[in-house]
Amino acid sequence: MDRNDERVCEACGLLYDWDPVIADGSHFCCDACARGQECTCPEHAEAHHVRAMGSRSGASILGATQGEL
């Protein structure tokens, strides 16, 4: 049961929907992850919020009351 338009990076766990970078049979969200480096995707920083709120691509919610650190 795969979702066609959503993948999970095997390195950083980021949910992404663009073409994966494939290395050693694993799928990564970006070149950096494929090389074992730190993820460079802008989405990565917001991934936590996306997961929590169930919505992607929104205005960055700065100043919102989230005691999540």
Shortest approach of Zn ion to residue 42 CB, angstroms?
Answer: 9
And the tokens for 11? 């390195």
Question: Is 29 near Zn ion (CB under 5 A)?
Answer: yes
Shortest approach of Zn ion to residue 26 CB, angstroms?
Answer: 10
Question: Is 39 near Zn ion (CB under 5 A)?
Answer: yes
Dihedral over alpha carbons 27, 59, 69, 28 (to 10 degrees) = 10
Q: Where does residue 32 rank: exposed (0-12), middle (13-18), buried (19+ CB within 10 A)?
A: middle
Question: Is 11 near Zn ion (CB under 5 A)?
Answer: yes
Residues of this chain that interact with Zn ion (CB under 5 A) are 9, 11-12, 14, 29-30, 33, 39, 41
